[in-house]
Amino acid sequence: MTKIIGLTGGIGSGKTTIAKYFKSFGIPVYIADDEARKIMQSPEIINAIKNTFGEDIFENGILNREKLAKIVFNDPEKLKKLNIIVHPAVKKHFELWLIENKTFPYIIYEAAILFESGRYKDCDIIVTVTAPIETRLQRVLERDKTTRELVLKKMEAQWSDEKRIAKSDFVIENIALDAAKREVDEILKILKIKQKHT
């Protein structure tokens, strides 16, 4: 039976970088945010978003993600509505992907809102990636060319590190990447030992 490792962390924690390092060991990785982005381009989801948020957030038929982000991260109710549209489609897509990868002992399910969405309940092991808030802010500002205000809004919409850590099996502090990679190596050693005893 394939074990699901839930990998999470706040925006800018570097969890995708950590996910890629896990992948380098041949572990299949599902990046929920990337898949959600693709799913949001499907006609069915686009229609649902149009019906809920209006035509204004589309430019030449293409969803303006920045506009949508400003709407949902300023209004928790609207964020909830967006999640109701997108999450079930991502869940269905992941379940099919899991079947395709069922021969692997472990797979990684990487999601920023693993706890908030309730998806953590489907995971056998949970790994949280942390980093200081200022470090995270700088990473996101460099990566997304967005505003500090919007990044802080996104942070507020997510669980705090303390809350995540309390429900996690492992924690990786991702300030210096080499040190974070060593923590991944340790987790993999522990999992190998556990595997032998099951």
Numbered residues of the known binding site: 12-17
Q: State the residue for tokens 């898949």.
A: 35
Count helices and strands (H / E) in the chain.
9, 7
Instruction: Report yes or no: 131 and 12 within 8 Å, Cβ to Cβ.
Output: yes
Using a 10 angstrom Cβ sphere, with 0-12 exposed, 13-18 middle and 19 or more buried, the burial of residue 109 is buried
User: What is the rounded CA–CA span in Å between residue 154 and residue 7?
Assistant: 18
Q: Which of 5, 8, 2 is nearest to 172 (CA)?
A: 8
User: What is the rounded CA–CA span in Å between residue 11 and residue 103?
Assistant: 31
Binding residues for ATP: 12-17
Q: State the residue for tokens 């990684």.
A: 108
